[in-house]
Amino acid sequence: MVNNNAAAVLLCLNTLSQGKEAVASRGELVEIGGSFRLPEVMQNSGAILREVGTTNRTYVEDYRKAINENTAMLLKAHTSNYRIEGSTWSVDIEELVGLSREYGLLVMEDLGSGALIDLSEYGLPREPMVKDSINAGVDVVTFSGDKLLGGPQAGIIVGRRDLIGQIRSNPLMRCFRVGKMTIAALDATLRLYINGSEMAIPTLAYLTRPIEEIHVITEQVSAKLKKILDGLATVSVEDGASQVGSGSLPVESISSRYVVLCPTTLSVDRMADLFRTGEIPVIGRIHEGRFLMDMRTIQQGDIEHILKSAKTIAGF
């Protein structure tokens, strides 16, 4: 475990491919948070990037043609923060593992979002799962401890015991190691998975929250805000959508419900600012002159915070 997934990728490449080539598809050379790009991470690791294929189509023969005496590994990166649609082709991980075995090479996969359960069981698109990559024979897999896994920010490296031993012995491990609080938080998160209680993890609980439950919260909040903001704003409810984003399910939206405020005596920007700068910030978004609050992540205990901010704005 290291401090984030970019560090995990760099550490693995530095250990297993320094001075040698890592073959990767052009369509998988992702840019991650903070404008850090996979080719630049690879360059700083000491690995030599060998690009194959095109942005939208890469075949197994492209990898085969690139293999030479200086090739160390075949690298696959999950495009967890964007999607290419239309005329596309990519090589699945099983096929890539098969090719690597022909030539005695390593296969490394950067999964990014770190799904440990099958989200399709809850009506969401299926993200690649860590266990599927390990079962397919991938030598080293990296992924985030946050995002879909739902724990603290961290980068996790799993794979062959001998390779993990080499990675752990790399002096850079000292630079990228995490603190005790992160270890404790990730330990608690993973125990929920082990005990079959993963739906207690907020990320997964909010992603899979029944729309009926969101409807109840929405009606409660809107009814009380109508009384508090009477004369300052009209309050209504409407169907909406929550976008997952943040390095996982990049284009997917989940049905949700909004509380909508239309200010009558102050600007919508001012109202949003007042909610945001309250004792406990209430973060919504502005759309077409209206202030929208998505209720998907609001629990019963949060309602009083919203009402308290509204009362402050109304001068109660």
At 72-86, the pLDDT tens digits run 999 999 876 666 667
For residue 190, pLDDT over 80 is answered with yes
At residue 181, the pLDDT reads: 97
Q: List Cβ neighbours of 117 (8 Å cut-off, separation of 6 or more).
A: 129, 193, 198, 204
Averaged over 255-263, what is the pLDDT? 96
Question: pLDDT-derived band of residue 189, with 50, 70 and 90 as boundaries?
Answer: very high
Ordered structural domains, the chain, with CATH? 5-203 (3.40.640.10), 209-314 (3.90.1150.180)
Judge whether residue 281 has pLDDT over 80.
yes
Mean pLDDT (whole number) for 211-228: 96
* Confidence category of residue 212, pLDDT binned at 50, 70, 90: very high
pTM: 0.86
Distances 212 to 101, 195, 208 between C-alpha atoms, Å: 50, 27, 12
pLDDT at 139: 98
Per the DSSP assignment, residues forming a β-bridge with 112 are: 143
pLDDT tens-digit profile of 123-161? 787 888 999 999 999 999 999 999 889 999 999 999 999
Residues 263 and 233 sit within 8 Å (Cβ to Cβ): yes
Torsion on CA atoms 195, 196, 199, 200, rounded to nearest 10 = -20
The residues, any chain, with a CB within 8 Å of residue 79's CB and separated by 6 or more, are 27, 28, 30, 250
Strands (E), 26-114: 31-32, 36-37, 48-52, 71-77, 106-112
Model confidence band, residue 224 (pLDDT cutoffs 50, 70, 90): very high
Rounded Cα gap, residues 10 and 251, in angstroms? 27
Alpha-carbon span 115 to 158, nearest angstrom = 13
